[in-house]
A and B are shown apart, each in its own frame.
Chain A
Amino acid sequence: MRAWKFGDDINTDVITPGRYTVTVDRKRLGEIAFIEYRPEFAKEVQEGDVIVAGNNFGCGSSREHSPVAIKAAGVSVVIAKTFARIFFRNSINIGLPLFVCEDADKIDDGDTIELSIKTGEVHDKTKGLVLKAKPLPEFMQRIVEKGGLVNFLRSDGYDNV
């Protein structure tokens, strides 16, 4: 899978501009991911590719359309040094895996990546590097294991917290 590299402070207006988000159609949202900032992305991204970014990925609006669009475009994981908090929660809630990885900078655009969602290990095959994502806190891990907030609340919910 290919790495698509982005910089710091990639905001939700860049990911899904407000003028395009008057829809809840997943397929359409997948087509508009980075539509103005990086128009080739949605056309060329392959199922399973990863986004690699710097600090504060997903800052700005609370719009869930942004992680939904990234997931619908086929991205398997977003790897970043840090994430903006609403984007982080939204991604967990909709089942888009995020890797917090201090060394995300070492990966370049176009590198070939292999990773394990289970272990958080990232192999940059192009560079021969192995990076490790920071594990999620146990509480969030429970939501992820249920497949997002909706399923979490449908099963044990907050009763066993």
Chain B
Amino acid sequence: MGSTITEKILANASHKKEVVPGDFVVADVSYAMAHDSTAPLAIESFYKITDKVFDKDRVIIVFDHFFPAPTVAGATLHQKSKKFVVDQKLSGFFTNGVCHQLLVEKYVSPGDVLVGADSHTCTEGALGAFTTGLGSTDIGGAMATGKCWFKVPESLKFNLTGSTKKGVYAKDVILSIVGDVGAAGALYKACEFTGDYVKNASVSSRLTLCNMAIEMGGKNGIIEADQKTIDFLGRDGKIFRSDKNAVYENEYEIEVENIEPQVALPPVVDNVEPVSAVEGKPIDQAFLGTCTNGRLEDIEVAARILKGKKIARNVRFIVSPASQDIYLAAFEKGYLQDLVKAGATICNPSCGPCIGRHEGVLCEGETCISSQNRNFTGRMGHPKAEIILASPATVAASALAGKIVDPRDYV
């Protein structure tokens, strides 16, 4: 019987020849990450276990959920986490991007095991690593020991074939999958994306696919690393591949050319429809950014749609590049200038709007179309505000029109 990539990485990290789904293993972690929202509780747990991190270069703290601090309470939490960074002499402390994007840019390599106190830590699995989200106490334990326990998950295989039609992107593909599989359809499972669509996809698009594995309940998203991954990262890793006779609990065959631009309607992410279902619905805010879709190719798509045009007068269009490196690259390529001239508000890299903390909070009755990954009730502000999830192209085209539109008419 063969093994999947997830099983192989977990076996390697737990010093075993082989593991099978259902096994409990204790794996060495390559990195343990917490952000400003989850670090305070992780630090509390950490100090109850020990007073020294397992490796000052492998414990990473990122301020992204409310940076710069919008409230005194937020600033106070920052102060506490920063004291931990200083006291533990951590080399990895960042305020210049969304944690998952920074982990992609600076740390994670193929074959690694990353644990992060953020549910979207499934994102980095697109680099051929086992990466998963945990809570603060688990991360406090990993910071202390350099280890973490896992129940080896069953794997689901998503075989994606063909190419998408013009105006249809990785976000539409993953929204379509989440809609089909359901919010609990991959509960506790490894979600492995494969097929020629994935092989041909950019690393950014692969990150978008894995980012939303958690929206099906998945434990991790994962894609085999290839030369494209290595070239993108500029660093080596240990490449694991699923065996041909690996065992999957379920296999999904998906022809992506049949996928239209998708939207997820409130109040849950699996409430997915083609964009035509809500075409013409007026919007108050459009948001482009986040760990799902705040990368250079996403900003490029928006800039191409909006260059030389003006967004609708009654719409706030908020753009937050996922990291300062992306911010600078988008500036150098002229994308940010195009967006600003079109009427966009460019914010610093942050999770702020996506989680309703700052830089774009919604009031009662407002509708926002967003490139983010969650549309839960109250997430971006008032519980009677509506969040509709879509691709960067649909977000940008809708900002232009002042209502939800099919992006295929704009690209």
Task: Show the binding face of A for B, using Cβ within 8 Å.
Answer: 8-9, 11, 13-14, 17-19, 21-24, 36-37, 55-56, 59-65, 67-68, 82, 84-87, 89-90, 93-94, 137, 139, 148-150, 153-154, 157-158, 161
Chain A positions within 8 Å of B294 at CB level: none
Interface readout for B340-375 with A: 1 if CB under 8 Å, 0 if not?
000000000000000111000100000000000010
Contacting B379 at CB < 8 Å: which of A17, A55, A68, A139?
Answer: A17
Q: Besides A22-B73, A89-B135, A153-B49, 6 other CB < 8 A contacts?
A: A11-B268, A13-B377, A19-B378, A23-B73, A36-B378, A64-B38
Closest 8 pairs (CB-CB, A-B): A90-B135, A56-B184, A93-B137, A13-B376, A18-B355, A64-B135, A139-B24, A62-B119
Chain A residues with Cβ below 8 Å from B140 are 150
Q: A37, B134: Cβ atoms under 8 Å?
A: no
A55: chain B residues at CB < 8 Å are: 184
Indicate which residue in B37, B44, B74 contacts A63 across the interface (CB closer than 8 Å). B37
> Roughly how many angstroms separate A90 CA and B49 CA in the complex, as a whole number?
16
Checking B66, B73, B144 against A153 with a beta-carbon cut-off of 8 angstroms, the contacting residue is B144
Known interface pairs A13-B376, A56-B217, A85-B188; A137-B144 also in contact (CB < 8 Å): no
Q: Which of B137, B268, B381 contacts A19 (CB 8 A)?
A: B381
In the complex, the chain A residue whose C-beta lies closest to that of B384 is A36
Distance (whole angstroms) from the CB of B189 to the closest CB of chain A: 9
A–B complex contacts, Cβ < 8 Å, 20 sampled: A9-B184, A9-B268, A13-B376, A13-B378, A17-B379, A18-B356, A23-B73, A36-B383, A62-B38, A62-B117, A63-B135, A82-B187, A87-B135, A89-B138, A90-B137, A139-B149, A149-B138, A153-B141, A158-B26, A161-B149
Nearest residue (CB) in B for A56 is B184
A103 vs B147: C-alpha distance in the bound complex, in angstroms? 36
Task: Report A-chain residues with C-beta under 8 Å of the C-beta of B135.
Answer: 62-64, 67, 86-87, 89-90, 93
Does B407 have its Cβ within 8 Å of any Cβ on chain A? no
Q: Number of contacting residues on B, CB 8 A?
A: 52
Structural contact, A85 and B217, CB atoms closer than 8 A:
yes
Q: Binary interface profile of B, 29-54, with partner A (CB < 8 Å = 1, else 0)?
A: 00000000110110011001100000
Task: Say yes or no for B77: interface residue by CB 8 A criterion.
Answer: yes
Instruction: Let me know if B137 and A148 touch, CB within 8 A.
Output: yes
Q: Which chain B residue shows the least CB distance to A68?
A: B41
Q: CA of A67 to CA of B134 in the docked complex: distance in angstroms?
A: 13
Q: Which of B180-236 contact A (CB under 8 A)?
A: 183-184, 187-188, 217, 219
A36 touches B141 (CB 8 A): no
Q: Is B71 an interface residue (CB 8 A)?
A: yes
Query: What are the residues of chain B within 8 A of A161 when measuring CB–CB?
Result: 24, 26, 149
Complex Cα gap A59–B379 (Å): 13
* Beta-carbon contact of B383 and A64 below 8 Å: no
Asked whether B7 is an interface residue with its Cβ less than 8 Å from the other chain, the reply is no
Beyond A22-B66, A56-B184, A158-B147, whether A14 also contacts B137 by CB under 8 A is: no
From A8, A18, A23, A60, contact of B119 by CB (8 A): A60
Assuming the A-B contacts A9-B183, A86-B133, A149-B45, are A37 and B377 also in contact, with contact meaning beta carbons closer than 8 angstroms in the complex? yes
* CB pair A86 B134 closer than 8 Å: yes
Cβ contacts under 8 Å, B112 to chain A: none
- When A13-B376, A13-B378, A158-B26 are in contact, do A149 and B141 touch as well, CB less than 8 Å? yes
A94: B residues at CB distance < 8 A: 137
Interface centre among A19, A82, A157 (most CB of B within 10 A): A19
Query: Does B136 interact with chain A (Cβ within 8 Å)?
Result: yes
A19: nearest residue on chain B (CB-CB)? B356
Answer whether residue B106 sits at the interface, using C-beta atoms and an 8 A cutoff: no
